[in-house]
A = this chain, B = another copy of it.
Amino acid sequence: MSATALTWRRPVTVHRANGPHAALCGDCGARHSGLCDALTDEDLAFLARMAQPMTVAAGQLLIEEGAPAGHFYNINHGHMRLFKALPDGRRQITGFAAAGHFLGLASDHVYAISAEAMDDVTVCRFARAQLHTAFETFPALERKLLEVAMHELSFAQEQFLLLGRKTARERVTSFLLNWAAREADCATAPAPGTRLRLLPTRTDVADYLGLTIETVSRTLTALKRDGLIDLPDQHEIVLRHPAALKEIAQAV
């Protein structure tokens, strides 16, 4: 566990327990997404007092699979990769988490996955015991969490189909369309020419799709050759023909 690598930042606002809640959550990237969106400003201000703000530098582990699940986290800013690994190093990324994403809820008392920062990340940390209290005080929180869990479950089922039955080409296009939907924060089809800012590296994409980096690279090149996408630079992708991509992706 690389807890020692984490830098701690305890802003003065934390100590102003009776100060305006805006100082706590008003400028948070997660204020209107995830669990925080389920609460009123007052309730959130109350809840924020039990949160420990902290930062995680790019590349650092926040959560390690198998470690005792003592804390929960809510991402305020930045992005994380969530993954499981086999003893021999094979890795499967189970998802990418952004602001508003709630991390660390394990059915067991041990984390089921690892979480690593892809860029500089800030989170709110809660002790396991505190969450239980929060549920008692704010039932809306539990309801929202159930809603989020159901949503993640149906996404997981879609991902089963991708990992178990789709070809490399189908996987990559499914991923691009999913990423576009995530960036646009909506489910409507992206317009032709939509520009994606792709934070994950080719390795990340490969480990997410159950492929190798070479196959991801070749597939992107092939999609470009076919006029379906453009690759202005390594981390940008332009969707030239989203309708055709959707066709290839087999919905999703």
List the interface of chain A (C-beta within 8 A of B).
Answer: 84, 86-88, 90-92, 94, 105-108, 112-113, 139, 142-143, 145-147, 149-154, 156-161, 163-166, 207, 209-210, 250-251
Q: Assess whether A164 is in contact with B210, with CB atoms less than 8 Å apart.
A: yes
Chain B residue contacts of A147, Cβ below 8 A: 107
Closest to A112 in B: B154
A160 touches B92 (CB 8 A): yes
| Contacting residues, chain B, for A158 (C-beta < 8 A) | 84, 112
Inter-subunit contact B163/A160 (CB<8 Å): yes
CA distance in complex: A240, B157 (Å): 33
- Is A94 within 8 A of B160, CB to CB? yes
Q: Within the oligomer, what is the number of copies of this chain? A: 2
Determine the distance from Cα of A160 to Cα of B157 in the docked complex, in whole angstroms. Answer: 10
Chain B residues contacting A209 (CB-CB under 8 Å) are 164
Separation of A2 and B165 alpha carbons in the complex (Å): 25
Known: A84-B160, A86-B165. Is A107-B154 also a contact (CB below 8 A)? yes
Does the CB pair A86–B160 fall under 8 Å? Answer: no
Q: Which of A113, A164, A165, A166 has the most CB of B within 10 A?
A: A164
